[in-house]
Amino acid sequence: MKRILAILTGVLLLASFTTLSASIADIVDALKGNDATQVSKYFDSAVDFKLPGKDEVKNVSKNQATLILKNFYSEQSIKGFDLSSKREMGGTGYLTGKLKGGSRSYNITLMLKTSGSTASIVTVRIN
């Protein structure tokens, strides 16, 4: 009986990491697609945002966060994304990379959390 419980626990843990990995891959694809609307589909209901030269804003609604990201993409002429690293730890994921703008590149870090079977973006830091 203990062996069966141990096996079931292992399978459930593996399944949760697989789901998070798939969601992270979808978010990376959205970033590479240079479409802020596509990226915003993965926003949690409240998002913390930090943009270059601006104060951090906390608990921005999903709609506001979408507008902030769209404006940033438009103003900076974002044309590409290169993934630097991705990590997963206990239901939390991190993505780091570079957004390629018209005249310069920006470092971006996303913190993700699992909500059921998917990952959602809870923090966006661009500098």
Question: Does position 117 have pLDDT exceeding 80, yes or no?
Answer: no
Question: Does position 42 have pLDDT exceeding 60, yes or no?
Answer: yes
Helix %, strand %, coil % of the chain (to 5): 40, 40, 20
| Whole-number Å distance between alpha carbons of 80 and 93 | 22
User: What residue ranges do the domains of the chain occupy?
Assistant: 2-126
* Mean pLDDT of the region 77-101: 90
Give the tens place of pLDDT for each residue, 5-36: 556 555 444 444 444 556 778 888 999 888 88
pLDDT value of residue 6: 57
Give the tens place of pLDDT for each residue, 51-65: 999 999 999 999 999
pLDDT value of residue 1: 63
* Mean pLDDT of the region 107-113: 94
Among 3.40.430.10, 3.10.450.50, 3.40.630.10, 3.40.605.10, name the CATH number for the domain at 2-126.
Answer: 3.10.450.50
Q: And the tokens for 88?
A: 């997963």
- 94, 108 contact by CB (below 8 A): no
Model pTM?
A: 0.79
* Mean pLDDT of the region 63-90: 91
The more confident residue out of 123 and 7 is 123
The more confident residue out of 11 and 39 is 39
Average pLDDT, the chain: 84
